[in-house]
A and B are shown apart, each in its own frame.
Chain A
Amino acid sequence: MEINMAVDEALKSELSKAGIFTTTIEDIYNWGRKSSIWPLQFGLACCAIEMIATAASRFDLARFGAEVFRPSPRQADLMIVAGTVTKKMTPQVVRLYNQMPEPKYVIAMGACAISGGPFKQGYNVLKGIDRFIPVDVHIPGCPPRPEALLHALMTLQRKIDSQRSIGKPEAVTNRAYNDRSEEYLIPRFGEHDLVPTHNPLVFHPTAIKRTE
């Protein structure tokens, strides 16, 4: 018989009224993880300026425990892709992502990082970083306000909070524990475009229903 590790929410609430605090190891573990996210310190374009503003005193990213921007991918667990990803820059971004330890997360910040933005018809801009690396949170905007980045961070915190590190192998969503971690394909510079133009293992565009 499987042991259900999760605490009954109603019981938990009832007990807390009586002054008894109940929790699980996993809850405390996730609370620690989500409250101390270390982003990778790099910016690609103007969105990086908003990211800097978010980290500075007025918006104060430190409230969320994410103020320690690390200059090395090996010490970071969040990649904020802040800005236009050119095709020439793509292999380096994927390489940085590959060098980050699990569990790792990606926020695609701004129109360019999501889809190429205003430059999408250009010959030199990648139409969204989700063509090569898995993105957890997309933020629209050109550039997004610091509040939007904070909202993305809170959304990511909710995601981290809901991840399972123990239990049945298929239920484990924390990639540090489920052996689903992998190195992602680094595109090669081709004669006309990146080769390949997207990683088919990562990029699954949803089928769009067209009405003629």
Chain B
Amino acid sequence: MTDPLTIRFPSVTFDTATGSYVLPLSIALEVANYLRDDAAYRLDMATNVAGVDWLPQVIKKKVKTSVTNAEGVVEQVESEVSENKPGLMEVVYHLISVEKRKGPLVIRLQTTRENPVVPSLTPVWRGCEFQEREAFDLYGIVFEGHPDLRRIFMWDEFKDFPMRKDYVESDDYEYEPTPHDAVLEKAQKHYPNQT
């Protein structure tokens, strides 16, 4: 990709699979200011901020290798290689330019699941304030530099982050007259003859 953004900031990578830019956290605020102010972009509005939780994955691939066997004949041998993909906590911003009538341009900030801290882009786009609070509330992503980082949907005493993939919900399925599918599995724990 050759565009003004990746030329100006070579450490910003373009992900063709999702059509989005991945920003290094150290320069995220600088890049955001550039995208908003530069004449080439003028992305003056952040329409959407979303958290994404990626669990660690094991990706299995089949690889063909050429092996010379005992008789000196070259053979194709198929072997399985597993690749460990670490978990990620991600924040996705959709930016549009009202002035140039262009967009959306998608940028992503990636951090670890264990200590999810990203710089807040609320100082750049004020509209991010509540949506970053939502990502904090439901995913536990901490936005450094956010003016008012509190829970927005759940109550303040709540400790969990319910949109995380490893969230364990509280069990209140004791009365299910017509359970099916996922509810059936949860209701079965309350059946009297269950061990």
Instruction: Return the CB mask of B159-174 against A: 1 if under 8 Å, else 0.
Output: 1101000010110111
Please tell me if the beta carbons of A197 and B191 are within 8 angstroms of each other in the complex: no
Chain A residues near B99: list those with CB within 8 A: none
The answer to whether A208 and B172 touch (CB under 8 A), given A121-B182, A121-B183, A192-B158, is no
Instruction: Return the CB mask of A179-212 against B: 1 if under 8 Å, else 0.
Output: 0000000000111110001100001010010100
A178 contacts chain B at the CB level, 8 A cutoff = no
Most chain B CB within 10 A, of A121, A123, A124, A198, is at A123
Please tell me if the beta carbons of B191 and A210 are within 8 angstroms of each other in the complex: yes
Closest 10 CB pairs of A and B: A205-B175, A193-B170, A189-B155, A123-B162, A191-B159, A189-B157, A197-B172, A123-B169, A192-B170, A88-B155
Chain A residues near B156: list those with CB within 8 A: 189
14 further A-B pairs in the complex, CB-CB below 8 A; given A120-B183, A191-B159, A208-B177 = A121-B182, A121-B183, A123-B170, A124-B154, A127-B172, A127-B175, A189-B156, A190-B158, A191-B157, A192-B158, A192-B170, A197-B172, A208-B175, A210-B191
Mostly, the B contact residues are loop
> Considering the complex, which residues of chain A in the window 58-92 have a beta carbon less than 8 Å from any beta carbon of chain B?
88
Nearest CB of chain A from residue B175's CB, rounded to whole Å? 3
| Separation of A88 and B154 alpha carbons in the complex (Å) | 7
| Separation of A208 and B162 alpha carbons in the complex (Å) | 30
Instruction: Return the CB mask of A119-156 against B: 1 if under 8 Å, else 0.
Output: 01101100100000000000000000000000000000
> Considering the complex, which residues of chain B in the window 119-161 have a beta carbon less than 8 Å from any beta carbon of chain A?
153-160
Binding site for B on A (CB under 8 A): 88, 120-121, 123-124, 127, 189-193, 197-198, 203, 205, 208, 210
Mostly, the A contact residues are loop
| Separation of A193 and B162 alpha carbons in the complex (Å) | 11
| Separation of A193 and B154 alpha carbons in the complex (Å) | 10
| Separation of A197 and B183 alpha carbons in the complex (Å) | 18
Please tell me if the beta carbons of B170 and A198 are within 8 angstroms of each other in the complex: no
| Separation of A124 and B174 alpha carbons in the complex (Å) | 17
| Separation of A123 and B170 alpha carbons in the complex (Å) | 8
> Considering the complex, which residues of chain B in the window 30-73 have a beta carbon less than 8 Å from any beta carbon of chain A?
none
Chain A residues near B170: list those with CB within 8 A: 123, 192-193, 197
Ordered by A's residue number, 29 sampled pairs between the chains whose C-beta atoms are within 8 Å are A88-B155, A121-B182, A121-B183, A123-B160, A123-B162, A123-B167, A123-B169, A123-B170, A127-B172, A127-B173, A127-B175, A189-B155, A189-B156, A189-B157, A189-B158, A191-B157, A191-B158, A191-B159, A192-B158, A192-B159, A192-B170, A193-B172, A197-B170, A203-B175, A205-B174, A208-B175, A208-B176, A208-B177, A210-B191
